[in-house]
Amino acid sequence: MAYFILKRLFQSIFVMLAVAFLAFSLFRFVGDPVSQMTGVETSVQDQEQLREELGLNDPFVVQFYRFTTDILKGDFGYSYRTRQPVNEMIASRIPATIELGITALMISLIVGIPAGVYTALRTRGFATQTILLTTLVGVSIPTFVIGIVLIFLFGVTLGWMPTFGRGGTVDLGGWTTSFLTLEGWSYLILPAITLGVYQLTLTMRLVRAEMMEVMRSDYIRFATARGIPQRKLHYRHALGNTMIPVITIIGLQFGGVIAFSIVTESVFQWPGMGLLFLESVRFVDIPVMGVYLVVIAFFFVLVNLVVDILYLMIDPRLRVKEAI
């Protein structure tokens, strides 16, 4: 097990290197950071001098080499925009994004799994049709529209919820959390729903399809014949087998939720990594963009690793193989 995890973490280094390499080959098409960093009155020579100092005239391979060697030395560089250390900037934004992602994931699981099971067991009812139709609508509306609709409904018209930002946070030694106060939750809930809607639909439909598949399989028939009570049959025997592919997909999707929370964070001015990335793209803040992409690549690897470990825990067959 430890060997397996170490191997995966080692592989992640190559993934991050590949992402950084691709990123740096694209950065020169993003725009010119110097014209963003200087005022209109700064002369052309001074701009050129700054460009030279920042090493922007070097070929991208050289810039990539410098970026990676600096990171290996633990030097993440400084933002072109704010001149702050990049690692501090990203670290201060990580809790907001992770908490938003986790809450969105929880919403999608807590609602999605029961709804999926229900619609699988009662394939024809009115409630099932309604649920299927609503989720279809939910998945076809773009995230930012859902966000704006929620903001105007609950924030402006009803006035129940704050419309932007992240408030009511408690600092737990470097990790600011929204989970501990009601005010924190009031800021968190709308963006989390917005981010979670797509996941929710996916989870529900996946659980439903898998559950219907499992319910048709032989062992469920035998179990039914043996007289195992319905409840135990559905939730222990059927659902357990349903969850294996569901966990894979949900896990992989969670990486995506973290990486692509950009839209939701922008609509709600949620101070996470996605918003920081968006600001950095607008400003051509290359150091921040570079580190962000590498961090996201690392998240993807990490999430995949967790999914694999969960696999081992859920599927006894894999455990046996490992033991041999």
Residues in contact with another protein by the rule CB under 8 A: 30-33, 35-45, 53, 78, 81-85, 89, 107, 110-111, 134, 138, 146, 148-152, 154-156, 159-166, 168, 182-183, 185-187, 189, 193, 196-197, 200, 266-269, 271, 275-276, 278-279, 282-284
Closest approach, Cβ 256 to another protein, in A, equals 19
Question: CB-wise, 56 or 214, nearer to another protein?
Answer: 56
Residue whose structure tokens are 């319905």: 230
Question: CB-wise, 19 or 131, nearer to another protein?
Answer: 131
Alpha-helical runs (H) found in the chain: 2-27, 33-37, 44-53, 60-72, 86-121, 126-140, 143-150, 182-215, 218-226, 230-232, 239-259, 262-267, 273-283, 286-314, 316-323
Closest approach, Cβ 37 to another protein, in A, equals 7
Phi, psi angles (nearest 5°) of residue 104: -60, -40
Q: How far apart are CA 114 and CA 117, in angstroms?
A: 5
Question: CB-wise, 9 or 127, nearer to another protein?
Answer: 127
Cα 308 versus chain centre, distance? 18
129-163 as b/e, with b when 16 or more CB fall inside 10 Å?
Answer: eebbeebeeeeeeebeebbeebbeebbeeeeebbb
Closest approach, Cβ 208 to another protein, in A, equals 16
DSSP state at residue 158: S
Closest approach, Cβ 82 to another protein, in A, equals 5
Question: CB-wise, 228 or 281, nearer to another protein?
Answer: 281
Question: CB-wise, 25 or 134, nearer to another protein?
Answer: 134
What tokens does 307 get?
A: 């999914």
Could you tell me which residues come within 8 angstroms of residue 56 by beta carbon, excluding any fewer than 6 positions away? 33, 34, 63
Residue 115 has, within 13 A of its CA and on its CB side, a CA count of 23
What tokens does 171 get?
A: 């600092």
What tokens does 140 get?
A: 């076809």
What tokens does 94 get?
A: 């990580």
Question: CB-wise, 33 or 255, nearer to another protein?
Answer: 33
Question: CB-wise, 15 or 278, nearer to another protein?
Answer: 278
DSSP state at residue 1: -
Closest approach, Cβ 293 to another protein, in A, equals 18
Closest approach, Cβ 122 to another protein, in A, equals 18
What tokens does 315 get?
A: 């599927």
Supply the angle between the helices 273-283 and 86-121 in degrees, to the nearest 10: 130
Q: How far apart are CA 87 and CA 248, in angstroms?
A: 31
Closest approach, Cβ 300 to another protein, in A, equals 25
Closest approach, Cβ 73 to another protein, in A, equals 15
Question: CB-wise, 1 or 182, nearer to another protein?
Answer: 182
Question: CB-wise, 166 or 205, nearer to another protein?
Answer: 166
Closest approach, Cβ 3 to another protein, in A, equals 41
